[in-house]
Amino acid sequence: MLSLLLSVAMAASATAPAWHDGLDWHGVHVSIDRDAHGSYTLAWPFGQRVIAAQPLQVDTASPLFNGLYAMAQDDLQLDSVTAIRDGAFDHGQPIPCHCFETGLKWPYVWTRDLSYSIDLGLWRFDPTRARNGLLFKLSGVREPTAPQGWYAMQDTGSGGSWPISTDRIVWFLGAQHLLDDQAFAERVWPALQDTLAQDRQYAFDAAFGLYRGETSFMDWREQSYPAWTANNVTFIAQSYALSTNVLHYQALQLAATLADAHRDAPAARDYRAQAAALKAAINAHFWRADRGMYMSYLGGDGTPYDTYDLLGIALAITSGVADGARARQTLANYPTWPAGSPVMWPERADQPIYHNRAIWPFVSAYALRAARTVNDPARIAHEIRSVMRGAALYGSNLENYELLTQGQHVDEGKLSGPVVNSPRQLWSVAAYLDVVSEGVFGLTGDGRVQPKLPVSLVSMLFGARHAITLNLPDRRITLQLPGKYAGNLLVADRVTTHGSDTVVMLKAVQVPDAPLRTDAPLYAPAAPPAPTLTAAGDHWTVTTDGKLQLYVNGRRAQVIDGSGSLPRTGALTCVSATRVGANGLESLHSPDRCVGELAPVTGAWPRTWTAPSTGRYRVTLDYRNDHGPINTGITAAVKLLAIRCAGSAPQRVPIVMPHSVGVQRSTYASFAARAGAACRFTLDDGFNMSYLRHFAHYTGGQGGSDGPLNQADVGDLLIAPLAQGTSTP
């Protein structure tokens, strides 16, 4: 496999038009030839790959485009296995599974990788393996005292997995395409109900109307979250991510549809109401008007972060969460570079290349779908070329590429990367197949053929031809050019279907063609240290490291240059700061500095406390959870804190205690109490991933083969009064 040094120029002798028999990139030439037997030979400076003739062919004027379609099928065959393995399961021994493995370096099945891959079209190519893989990631409960049910699994991850990460709900994004199999559908419906109910109980915050949890797929926290989360992921467990909330919206929409199919009208109404409320909450909280984009995540108190991710934005557009003008605006404002679109922006100057400063083909495929949704010819063409170029340069569908060079590895000392990469990565394979089937030929998930082909790609795909054709497992699609056309986007004029053959006569239309955003700064400023707060009479003296933007209890406050003050209200005051660059771009936030807590409540459970005044209070716990490393495992401690205050309705709120480094703070909740009311607190067992039967196979840490584990060493209970009208739940 090529280890490409993009600074080394190569003398290219090819004379074929660009993107036909090859391409040139940063002084490197890639060529492709097809022999009489239908095999392709893809060659680059340091190697070649011979791709055998495949049963499904795409016939365009570009042998490169056609050959890469054959290569994606060949990669998919290599990923089609009868057993999988991972060092953390069954001691690395093979596990029988007639399914897809994740890639050459990842011979296992993970929930998000498989589900996104299936949604990107793999369900068309091998529905049996797709269903088998999904069922492998579905589990019943082995802990007899826990509520029984069927649940999509959150894989090992930050702080001990769910509910720090909550994107397991993506399972249903893939499963929705395979419901024509009755036996499978009968598994999906109860699993969807159970998983949604569990997430509603443990991850949903009624005050904000959002689900908590980490950004989907970007689960290396130092890459996308503030550096101080490296050893403390409670912030992530408390926060809200755009991508994960949109996935929950889509799951609720699917639940409403399936409830209708099961003639359960009350459930259908309830799911639709939840979906509508969630859509409204996403638009209310994640939209950042000064950037014209949806933010990637928010702090648990609603603190806005000046950071964005392409998957979340693309899913918001394709799901319908982002409507009309916002959908067009947020995609147009998301930056691009010549090689493609970064999965997150802005980048981090102190982090190596992986999610940071990187292109991921599967995210590019979702961006392509979003561009089709808003009729953006420039973005459609940009994402198609990016996915094609990456596959061509390295003779395989790699997982990711460096943003500026599209290199598979760039040597920059401690910042080198991508840190991890793998050939024939499943969701990258799916991305290329989707670029062909939906991106070019317009085949949508519901079977309609709706091409939206930029006129700028006609030369590559049609050349001097009048028609191009795609063969799929169950149908054949032909696109025909009109005799004359003027415009920038080719769409369907007439669609004719005879049996499994669909012929589309195209016509050209002129749509608003927003230019790609190419002027964005690459890096955000470095995050500052936390401000210090010192009591001074009726105010707090705030000291900062230079000129910083302050945020108080989730809301933007004043700019302080070295020193300033805030009112001392007697309520909880949490202050963070950002550094603002010359271009107005903000850094990630410093850690919070909080003042205003009351004396800790200690002793045996149940614990009692008397409210000093009428109002709302925040409650949290000091704890230690050393049952696994902070970056993986399945033993996040999840409890239910029962709160009973005289004169107020009782509450039972989830408290999450992720794997920790020493003593840390749990997630927090809020409750109401009247002055003088006696409050009683008890801590009951909740649910974590170690309770699932599947994880009896987990041998890489605690809570697996040694039995379920949902414990932490709990210390002080800490209570703080909340200011009236605060956004903190």
Q: What is the pLDDT of residues 319-363, one digit of tens each?
A: 999 998 999 999 999 999 999 999 999 999 999 999 999 999 999
CA dist list (Å): 185 to 133, 134, 269, 714, 729 = 15, 12, 21, 42, 38
In DSSP terms, 59 is beta-bridged to: 469
Q: What gap in Å lies between CA 254 and CA 196, rounded to an integer?
A: 11
Helix (H, G, I), strand (E, B) or coil at 321: coil
DSSP 555: E
Q: Is the pTM of this model over 0.75?
A: yes
Nearest in space to 400 (alpha carbons), one of 327, 311, 489: 311
Q: Quick one: pLDDT band at residue 656, thresholds 50, 70, 90?
A: very high
Residue 15 pLDDT > 90, yes or no? no
| pLDDT for residue 16 | 46
Query: pLDDT, tens digit, for every residue of 89-100?
Result: 999 999 999 999
Residue 583 pLDDT > 80, yes or no? yes
Residue 728 pLDDT > 80, yes or no? no
Query: pLDDT, tens digit, for every residue of 402-419?
Result: 999 999 999 999 999 999
Q: What gap in Å lies between CA 262 and CA 201, rounded to an integer?
A: 24
Q: Quick one: pLDDT band at residue 724, thresholds 50, 70, 90?
A: confident
Query: pLDDT, tens digit, for every residue of 34-47?
Result: 999 999 999 998 88
CA atoms within 13 A on the CB side of 474: 8
| pLDDT for residue 726 | 54
Pairing of strands 651-657, 593-595: unpaired
Q: Structural domains in the chain?
A: 71-347+362-389 (1.50.10.10), 532-594 (2.60.40), 607-721 (2.60.120)
* Averaged pLDDT, 464-479: 96
Q: What gap in Å lies between CA 462 and CA 452, rounded to an integer?
A: 15
pLDDT above 70 covers a percentage of the chain that reads 97
| pLDDT for residue 603 | 95
| pLDDT for residue 727 | 47
Q: What gap in Å lies between CA 405 and CA 422, rounded to an integer?
A: 18
Q: What average pLDDT is seen over the chain?
A: 95
* Averaged pLDDT, 216-232: 96
